[in-house]
Amino acid sequence: MSGILAGVGSILGTVWAQFATLVLTLAAVFVGIVLLVQWKRQRARLGLIFGQAADPSFYAHIDTLTRAFDQQTAMEKELRAGFAELEQTSHGFFDTVDVEHYDAFAGQAGKFSFSLLMLNRHGTGMMLTSLTNAQGSKLYAKRIESGKSDTALSREEQELLSRHVHS
């Protein structure tokens, strides 16, 4: 073991070893100076953004910004949840409402008959039809499911439905 230590000691005593030690020391000092300069620049940037970092209010300012960000994030989550709920429930709203006026009994009462179509985005809803003649009016309600009626439709009702339901 003492032979090994004597060999290491003789290697370290050479000029090349001393030169290598000097180079490594200078490299370490250079890296330290570069890191110190970068740290000062970063601190100056933070000072421009948040005020002087040495100021005790710096951390209070950071806390205020963090709370504001958290509140904004919570508000965004609430809005997204509200929109998702509205999206789920809005299928019951009528997206399409249209009226077609026509003369159901040619020459008897004029264009006082009508069909009113109300559909949601899935093609589900209802059609109200009022047929008017010289003696009076009759009102019919027909259910529409996925663009189809469960009862027979007149030509005018079918045309009205076909304009809004695309298979």
pLDDT per residue rounded down to tens, the chain (167 residues): 666 656 656 666 677 777 778 888 888 999 999 999 998 888 888 777 766 545 667 777 788 888 888 888 888 898 888 888 877 776 667 888 999 988 887 776 677 889 999 998 888 899 999 988 878 888 999 999 999 999 999 999 999 999 998 75
State how far the Cα of 76 lies from the Cα of 47, in Å rounded to an integer: 30
Whether residues 143 and 97 share a domain: the answer is: yes
CA angle, 20 as apex, 6 and 38 as ends, to 5°?
A: 135
Domain hosting 23: range is 1-55
Q: Is the Cα torsion angle 147, 152, 153, 155 positive or negative in sign?
A: positive
In a domain, 51, yes or no: yes
Q: What is the pLDDT of residue 94?
A: 83
Q: 160: which residues sit within 8 A by CB, 6+ positions away?
A: 98, 100, 115, 117, 127
Residues 15-47, buried b or exposed e (16+ Cβ, 10 A)?
eeeeeeeeeeeeeeeeeeeeeeeeeeeeeeeee
pLDDT of residue 92: 65
Q: What is the pLDDT of residue 86?
A: 76
pTM of the full structure: 0.48
Q: Are residues 97 and 160 in the same domain?
A: yes
Report yes or no on 8 lying in a domain.
Answer: yes
- Per the domain annotation, does 102 fall within a domain? yes
Position 134 scores a pLDDT of 76
**Can you give the pLDDT at residue 160?**
93
In this prediction, residue 20 carries a pLDDT of 79
- Predicted pLDDT at 9: 60
Burial class of residue 157 in the structure, from the number of CB atoms within 10 Å of its CB (0-12 exposed, 13-18 middle, 19+ buried) = buried
